[in-house]
Structure 1
Amino acid sequence: MALERSKKRKTLSKKMKFLFISVAILLLMLSAAGVYTNQLYQSAQDTVNTTMQEDLDRNGGSERRIHEVSLEDNDAASFLLLGTDGEGSHDRGRSDTIMVATMNPEEASLKMVNIPRDTRVEIPGRPGKDKINHAYAYGGSDLAMETTERFLDVPIDYVIRVNMDGFTSLVDAVGGVNVYNDFHFEQDHYEFHKGNIDLDGDQALAYTRMRKDDPQGDSGRNERQQQVVEGIIDEGASFQSVTRIEEIIDSLGDNIRTNLDFDMMNTLVFDYSHVREDIRSLSIEGSGRMIENIYYLDVPESERSRISDQLNDHLGL
């Protein structure tokens, strides 16, 4: 049981880092930069507040909120992470990673749920039901947030959208990453042996794309994505990456979009970091079925309500 809890804790820790990739990497870069802080701080601030910013129709906040949430006041808040497959940060591919996290700084806790991309839901403005990962393709982050809110009946305050394909440039900017590969496989003309392996940007992309030959399917692919993200963070915090800090910041700006500004990110890192003391992962259970030769995951109303109640309770709603 202790080993099982330890493995679960490590998995949750990786999800936590994946959720805050835009925050963690930027601030680790700045910390590593030392004497370059003033110049790079301004560069990072400009990147976040201009290049990374995503204009949303809901800039006034979620309609499910009576009062607008304030990170400065240490309010409990919710976040939607979208890992997209577009060729660029502005392209509308589908969102293969859809994760909701709620933070309650007063309780020093974080809850998170990964929504399977095949989950069959109602997408506002679209006929019938469709896969939840199509919402982003139809209407960008706004529709993805609205669809997630409707499905879980939970307000979504902030979004962090990461273009996973674009992380080739970021991997190269930090000088490559080292990961532990659980089993031998081939993908996109690259061969990946079992054990510790070094990856450049193109290899890292191929490594994270493999799904069909993985016994864990999407879960295995998500785990490899998280491995690469951790590798980026580890390399980015090292002294060797300091001289490439501008390149790293530029790469982040090219591949991340969010409605968090730089001050909000600082507040999260310094005032919300203690939520890691209690991280709980919620799992959505459902049953798969084929409709017109397309696979969907049906989530029962009782299951949807169970997740919704826990997240709303965590937000104090």
Structure 2
Amino acid sequence: MYSFVSFSVILKLNVNLCINPWRHKMRTQRKKKKAWLKVTGIIVLILLIAGGTYGLIVYNSLKNAVETMHQPIDREQSKKRPEPIALNKKQPFSVLMMGVDERQGDKGRSDTMIVLTVNPNTKSVKMLSIPRDTRTEIVGKGKEDKINHAYAFGDVPMAMDTVEKFLDIPLDYYVKINMEGFEDIVDAVGGVVVQNDLDFSSDGYHFPKGEIILDGKKALSFSRMRYEDPRGDFGRQIRQRLIIQAIINKGASLSSLTKFQDIFNALGDNVKTNLTFNEMVDIQENYKDASESVEQIEIKGSSSKINGIYYLIISPGEKQRVQNELKAHLELN
């Protein structure tokens, strides 16, 4: 199953990415094969189970969806990664997942930014959610601003360059999800169930504590609210991860292929990535065990107003702590 929030990519964190392309042809008509196509990602999620005589149909639909999602970027090779990543050699890699509110005439901002580092040698994944109001240098603009503004100023390349400098690690791939179409993905899997820890209302919907059922519109409202949450942006990140995990769980539980085309269509319409189909295949073959251990990292800061604008200020020591942890996980000297 190929499903997304972020990855397309990746793993079981709040986001998993795995794909099995059915490379081997069916040797006999009687013999049935099943392929688990699990791909994740924020604000990714790639899920679908294919089997038996439907294998070729699902494979072709998946490949077409990936081709629609594939969007290379005009960005030089990272100086922090002198040589391109070699997935066939099982090198640890990183992914920037962005949830973007794109409206007509406005490219929007990357209000959700999640960095994933994947290490097949330690069979683990680390996931860092970067608060949208984090103050940092915007690479290419020559000034400091909120980190989520980088996408508005220079699209995916500037966002990747800015996050890369902020964390001092190479970013190998990106996955961008249009949050306006996020509800399509939720509806494609038939809605989701989450365990809500905060009673609140938003956009005309009431979300009580406990187990709640969400369709696409409710899930989008649930994941966006932050002003009524005493945890602010951190609370919103928690709800976003709940939705992503719920999509993965729901997709993985499908017992038939009746929804696969809806899921692929939703992904193709709302997800963009520089990952190619073959790279996704390599990730499935060489990195799938990394989903055995998923750790969520939190970066902490203090709120401050500068020229009347609210920012989250990360201390040098806190930034260094997070950088060191991610570098170690990527096996960087």
* TM-score interval (norm. to shorter): 0.7 to 0.9
- 1:72 corresponding residue in structure 2: 88
- 2:177 corresponding residue in structure 1: 162
- 2:99 corresponding residue in structure 1: 83
Displacement of 1:243 in angstroms is 1.3
Q: Does 1:56 align with 2:73?
A: yes
More helix, by proportion: 1
- 2:63 corresponding residue in structure 1: 45
Residues 14 and 242 of structure 2 are in contact (CA less than 8 Å); yes or no, is this contact kept in structure 1? no
Displacement of 1:122 in angstroms is 0.8
Displacement of 1:56 in angstroms is 0.6
Cα distance in 1, alignment partners of residues 223 and 216 from structure 2: 11
- 1:21 corresponding residue in structure 2: 41
The CA deviation string for residues 238-270 of structure 1, in whole angstroms up to 9 with x for no partner, is 446621211210100111111111222232233
Cα distance in 2, alignment partners of residues 239 and 13 from structure 1: 17
* Letter in structure 2 aligned against 1:20: T
Q: What secondary structure is seen at the aligned counterpart in 2 of 1:242?
A: coil
- 1:113 corresponding residue in structure 2: 128
> Does 119-128 or 17-26 show the bigger shift?
17-26
* Letter in structure 1 aligned against 2:59: Y
Residues 235 and 241 of structure 1 are in contact (CA less than 8 Å); yes or no, is this contact kept in structure 2? no
* Letter in structure 1 aligned against 2:56: N
Cα distance in 1, alignment partners of residues 117 and 182 from structure 2: 26
Task: Please give the TM-score of this superposition, normalised by the length of structure 2.
Answer: 0.81
Q: 1:269 aligned to 264, 272, 284, which one?
A: 284
Cα distance in 1, alignment partners of residues 251 and 194 from structure 2: 15
More strand, by proportion: 2
Cα distance in 2, alignment partners of residues 207 and 309 from structure 1: 33
Alignment size in residue pairs: 301
1:1-317 maps to which residues of 2 (within 5 A)? 14-17=13-16, 20-21=40-41, 25-26=45-46, 28-29=47-48, 31-32=49-50, 34-49=52-67, 51-58=68-75, 61-87=77-103, 92-239=107-254, 242-317=257-332
* Letter in structure 2 aligned against 1:287: S
Cα distance in 1, alignment partners of residues 45 and 52 from structure 2: 15
RMSD of the alignment, in Å?
2.6
- 1:7 corresponding residue in structure 2: none
Displacement of 1:17 in angstroms is 4.0
Cα distance in 1, alignment partners of residues 253 and 298 from structure 2: 35
Cα distance in 2, alignment partners of residues 254 and 101 from structure 1: 23
Q: Gaps spanning 5+ residues in structure 1: where?
A: 1-11
Residues 32 and 238 of structure 1 are in contact (CA less than 8 Å); yes or no, is this contact kept in structure 2? no
The CA deviation string for residues 163-208 of structure 1, in whole angstroms up to 9 with x for no partner, is 2231211222222222222233221112223322222211221222
Q: Gaps spanning 5+ residues in structure 2: where?
A: 1-10, 18-38
Structure 1 residues 203, 34: CA separation in 2 closer, same or farther (over 3 Å shift)?
Answer: farther
Task: Please give the TM-score of this superposition, normalised by the length of structure 1.
Answer: 0.85
